[in-house]
Amino acid sequence: MEENKFDLNTFIGFMLIGAILLWMLYQNQPTEQELLAEAAAIEQVASETNQENTTAQNDSAKPIINEEATQEDLTEQTERLKNQFGDFAYAATQPSWTDQTTVLENDLLSLVISNKGGYIVSAELKNETQYQGAPVYLIKDGNSGLDLKFQAQNRLLSTAEMYFEPHLTKDGEDQVLSMKLKTSEQDYLEYIYRLPASDYMLGFDIVTRGLEEVIEFNQPIELNWSLKGFRQAKSISYENRYTRLTYAYDNGNEFDKLGPVGSDEASERDVTWINFRQHFFSSMLLTDSPFQEVGLYSDDLVKDETIDTTFTKAYRAKVQLTPKNNRLDQAMSLYFGPTDYKVFKSYDKNLDEAMPLGWGIFGWINKYVIFPVFGFLSQWFPAGIAIILLTVFFKLLLSPVQYKQYVSQAKLKVLKPEMDEIKKKFEGNQMKIQQETMKLQNTAGASPLKGCLPALLQIPVFYALFTFFPTAYVLRQKSFLWADDLSSYDVVLELPFSIPFYGDHVSLFPILASIAIFFYMMMSTGQQMQQQQQPGMPNMKFLMYLSPVFMLVFFNNYASGLSLYYFTSNVITIGIMLVIKNFIIDEDKIHAKIQETKKKPKKQNRFQKKMAEMMEQAEAQKKAQQKK
């Protein structure tokens, strides 16, 4: 066997090779700048991995042109962009600012505008919080978009895909942000945002300069605006009920809205404003010169209230813009703020029509009585006390009407013995009983109709208040007793299950209101149940039990302020009825007065004469049929 011997030459060779490798590694180690760049690249990759669901935002953060690319690569990429965007490729080749955003901010709003698309990517109401205490964002995480679509150089382009160059300045107290989509340093499409101090509304203009040979102004130019409304309130079903798309058209003289459930759409001309209403918050687009034609779309996103808990509705508006003289110059405004009657009225643009205040006389009562009175009271008293004082105000206002109602009921009670005699005298002849009863009531001036009319006069106020409380922004997050938010339901007990129509909680104010309504119905309808039940009249006993149950079940998820009002109203009414009955109305005096009235000849009006004639004819026909 051959022995292994140490070879000095081989050892020296290996040492030289190792030294060479070490020298090469030393010479090729990364510089500090390269290490920072590598770390930034790793951080960017990690960020992109964590945001896979927001691809659009990731894309907006990456320059289209790679600064480290070779000249050949740059030429190739530039040509590709020119094929895609035409002359607007100029804007996409500015990598120094493509990944930036700009902040516009005042005491009320904080807006973030992205260079990509030139639109707002975040809109925060600085002084508001949602039901869980988090800040209120109307725009965030890609829930909204605004882009301009137009034909340019045989291409259909969208500004959402292109980059704007920002320039922020100040004009007095106003912040002015110019976002230019350039084809050259002199030619551009521009978005101009102007945010005043302490205002929810900002100016928003779209203008073009020097693009007559680029944009095909004879083709449709469409502004697309979309928004998915975030849930902001404790009850998503209650919030979604008052979340609707509303708009003004016919140069601001007419107002309409899309359906509150399912999907709905409409097409209107001469539209002056569009409101993507989210119950107590609104995102609005307004224009100085009416939009010629607008397509409006709404989709209800709450299919299952236990699952669909992030968004309420998805809105879209397709606005046809009208250029003039091969130029676009559209002056508009954007509003991001509360759906507050007082704030809306301050703009003098009929924005209060965007609120569900009721139609006709109900809306007038809200606008000219309830809102001014409650606004005054809430300046001096807490919201809960202001509701009680508002109730007292309406009770005093309607007291003459209610007094007449109570007097009419007292007269009918006094006449009951005589009406019982008529019933016995003409037993079996219902037509004759009705005829004689009406004659007695007419002679005594105690018609049941007189007792119903005062109640009917209170219905407009009742309905106006029913629409006031769900829309009263001033009640939002105002507490009273055990209710932490008078604009939402109060909770005294959470249920481990959900009851259909009732919910998964117990609210105390509806229970108190139901009890008060029950006692009021017993006092007001109890006398009528003791009286003769006229054919065709509603079953008073049924109504006496139905109203409290209705209040208990269906108002469990309504604004606690509304239940507080009904509870207070009925308690005051019961008190007034007891005072009138025990200290004001004397049934003996009423009886004596009725007897005096019966002695006087009573002149019938035309309606009473006609009714008497019809009943006499019916009685005659009945007798004729019996003879046959």
238 and 386 assigned to the same domain:
no
- Share of residues in the chain with pLDDT > 70 (%): 72
352 and 384 assigned to the same domain:
no
491 and 589 assigned to the same domain:
yes
Residue 623 within a domain = no
Nearest to 574 by CA among 526, 530, 524, 531: 524
Query: How many C-beta atoms lie closer than 10 Å to residue 383's C-beta?
Result: 23
The alpha carbon of 97 is separated from its chain's Cα centroid by a whole number of angstroms, namely 37
> Mean pLDDT throughout 221-231?
93
Mean pLDDT for all residues in the chain:
79
263 and 302 assigned to the same domain:
yes
Separation between Cα atoms, residue 388 and residue 481, nearest integer Å: 13
329 and 461 assigned to the same domain:
no
pLDDT reported for residue 276: 95
Residue 30 within a domain = no
328 and 419 assigned to the same domain:
no
Separation between Cα atoms, residue 54 and residue 59, nearest integer Å: 9
Helices (H), 540-605: 540-554, 560-579, 587-599
Amino acid at 501: F
Which of 304, 324, 356 marks a domain boundary? 356
* pLDDT band, very low/low/confident/very high, at 434 (cuts 50, 70, 90): confident
CATH for 318: 2.70.98.90
337 and 392 assigned to the same domain:
no
Nearest to 236 by CA among 290, 309, 176, 295: 309
* pLDDT band, very low/low/confident/very high, at 87 (cuts 50, 70, 90): confident
Residue 469 within a domain = yes
Which of 306, 321, 356 marks a domain boundary? 356
Residue 421 within a domain = yes
The answer to whether the beta carbons of residues 200 and 191 sit under 8 Å apart is: no
Residue 147 belongs to domain spanning:
87-356
pLDDT reported for residue 264: 93
590 and 460 assigned to the same domain:
yes
Separation between Cα atoms, residue 320 and residue 317, nearest integer Å: 10
416 and 448 assigned to the same domain:
yes
**Residue the block writes with tokens 């006031």:** 468
Number of domains in the chain: 2
Of residues 432 and 100, which shows the higher confidence score?
A: 100
For residue range 373-430, list pLDDT tens digits in order.
Answer: 998 998 999 999 999 999 888 888 877 777 777 777 777 777 777 777 777 777 767 7
Q: Which residues pair with residue 248 across a beta bridge? A: 255, 273
pLDDT reported for residue 100: 84
| Distance (Å) of CA 467 to CA 102, 500, 561 | 40, 24, 12
For residue range 466-518, list pLDDT tens digits in order.
Answer: 889 888 998 998 889 998 889 888 888 888 888 887 888 888 999 998 898 88
Which of 294, 327, 356 marks a domain boundary? 356
Residue 34 within a domain = no
530 and 403 assigned to the same domain:
yes
Amino acid at 360: G
463 and 338 assigned to the same domain:
no
Residue 293 within a domain = yes
pLDDT reported for residue 130: 87
The answer to whether the beta carbons of residues 65 and 77 sit under 8 Å apart is: yes
pLDDT reported for residue 278: 92
Q: Would the pLDDT of 52 be above 50? A: no
187 and 279 assigned to the same domain:
yes
Residue 626 within a domain = no
Residue 612 within a domain = no
| Distance (Å) of CA 468 to CA 47, 356, 463 | 47, 8, 9
Nearest to 520 by CA among 613, 406, 356: 406
* pLDDT band, very low/low/confident/very high, at 587 (cuts 50, 70, 90): low
pLDDT reported for residue 340: 93
